Structure 1
Amino acid sequence: MTKIPNPQLPALPDAITYGLYGYGWIGHLDEGWEAKAAWGRDGWDLGAWPYVIVAVFDDATAEVHAYATYVEGGINIKAYTTAEERDASIDEVAAFYWRNYNSGPEDLAPEGQPLAPHHRGPFSWSRLKVQTTQQRSQS
């Protein structure tokens, strides 16, 4: 198992045990961790599966919100007291891979510029539907 920086987080599978490909790692995530494939309003790729995977964890009661980034067998874990702080950090991870793998939004701001609101935060179908409906009603 991978060493966890916060004792309230469930263990993560050791990447070496499951090889360099992330699908095996995803399959062994403990309860509470969830791999996220999409980010931002429109659900752009998050990471570069199976080589780069982001998994999130939320325990609002314990005020622990974390994410783990799996990169070709290496794992980096960051924990925060709020989901908003965690998600802001994931925004930067998403933007890095969008820029370097050309897999993100066409209107992505250049490096060093702030992300647009629709590029930030977790993807959900309800978020996409609400924002798309609002845009249509404003046109």
Structure 2
Amino acid sequence: MTSVEFIGPQLPRDDRTGDGYDYIETAENAGWTVIAQWGAEGYDFGAWPYIIGFARQAKEASGKRHFGYGVYVEGDTTTKYFDNLEACKEAIDRDAHWYWKTGQSDGPGNVPEKFEDLPAKYRGLPND
């Protein structure tokens, strides 16, 4: 899994006029979709209002699609783009695993130490 050099729309800067809940509206108004649940059973992704994940698609002028994933952590944001949806989902899987394993997000009770051991039912969007 690697991100690509495509420079698409970034998560907007946090204007510090509110909290993470307010930031969700800011990001959605900029074309991002919040990631509320992750894994087949719909576990929390992040810990609102402190850690919030977002996704979106963007196109190059040629029409090639890229899949964006961004994270808001207490006002700081990061954004990455991927050439395909599966690579983007893996990046989200990896972060969800880390947040669950470290207790920073409510996830399954039996999260393995290593990402490679994470069962398929804990990966991807609910109903994937």
TMscore range, shorter length: 0.7 to 0.9
Report the AA paired with residue 111 of structure 1.
Answer: K
Q: CA–CA distance in 2 between the matches of 1:67 and 1:55? A: 6
- For normalisation by structure 1, the TM-score amounts to 0.75
Matched letter for residue 89 of structure 1: A
Shift in Å at residue 12 of structure 1? 2.7
* 1:121 paired residue number: 124
Q: In the aligned structure 2, how far is the partner of 1:115 from the partner of 1:13?
A: 31
Aligned residues: 119
- 67, 70, 73: which one pairs with 2:69? 67
Give the equivalent residue in structure 1 for 2:91.
89
- Paired letter, 1:105: P
> TM (normalized to structure 2)?
0.80
- Gaps spanning 5+ residues in structure 2: where? none
Aligned to 1:45: 44
SS in 2 for 1:55: strand
AA matched with 1:73: G
Instruction: Answer 1 or 2: higher relative contact order, Cα 8 Å, separation at least 6.
Output: 2
Aligned to 1:104: 107
Gaps of 5+ in 1: 128-139
The answer to whether the Cα contact below 8 Å between 2:10 and 2:79 also exists between their aligned partners in 1 is no
1:58 and 2:61 aligned: no
> What's 2:78 paired with?
76
Bigger Rg, structure 1 or 2? 1
Query: Structure 1's 14 and 117: CA in aligned 2 closer, same or farther, altered over 3 A?
Result: same
Q: Give the conservation status (yes or no) of the 8 Å contact 2:51–2:72.
A: yes
Cα drift, residue 92 of structure 1: 0.7
The equivalent residue for 1:24 is 22
Three-state SS of the structure 1 residue aligned to 2:56 is: strand
* CA offset digits 1:45-103 (Å, max 9, x no partner): 10111100000012475321011110011111111010100000100100111111262
Q: Secondary structure, in 3 states, of the residue corresponding to 1:28? A: helix
Question: Which structure has the highest helix share of the two?
Answer: 1
What is the rounded CA distance, in whole Å, between the counterparts of 2:102 and 2:95 in structure 1?
Answer: 11
Aligned to 2:9: 10
Q: Distance in 2 between matches of 1:91 and 1:115?
A: 9
Aligned with 1:92: secondary structure? helix
Query: For 2:30 and 2:41, how far apart are their aligned partners in 1?
Result: 27
Equivalent position of 1:35 in the other structure? 34
The CA distance in 1 between the partners of 2:6 and 2:39, in whole Å, is 27
